[in-house]
Amino acid sequence: MSDLSTIPLINDESSRQFEMEVEGRMAKVEYELNGTKMFLTHAKVPKSLDEKGVCAEIVERVFAYIEANNLKLVPMCSVVTAHLRRHPEWKRIVEKGVEV
């Protein structure tokens, strides 16, 4: 498998999802954008890719996108919430008042 950091993260605004194609399969994080709040509603990563770290990679890159665009995260997906709990340094981008 190639280095995950070289695979582009695509923000498909029309479908409201971030996408990464790895080994011909698609990993996705769906979202809703409301002003400066980005609600991450669903992560979908094929099991074969998750075992290779693709889920963690796409979530990390979506978090970096949120931070770079001065947005605030509202996690609504168990995968995203679990990642936040494992990486509390990202709580800096969570919308004030939202419990993780």
Amino acid at 64: A
Contact 74, 84 (CB under 8 A): no
The segments of the chain whose pLDDT lies below 50 read: none
Q: How far apart are CA 72 and CA 37, in angstroms?
A: 5
pTM for the whole structure: 0.94
Q: How far apart are CA 27 and CA 91, in angstroms?
A: 23
Q: Break the chain into its structural domains and give their ranges.
A: 4-93
Q: How far apart are CA 11 and CA 3, in angstroms?
A: 20
Q: How far apart are CA 51 and CA 49, in angstroms?
A: 5
Residue 69 in tokens: 């665009």
Does the domain at residues 4-93 carry the CATH identifier 3.10.105.10?
A: no
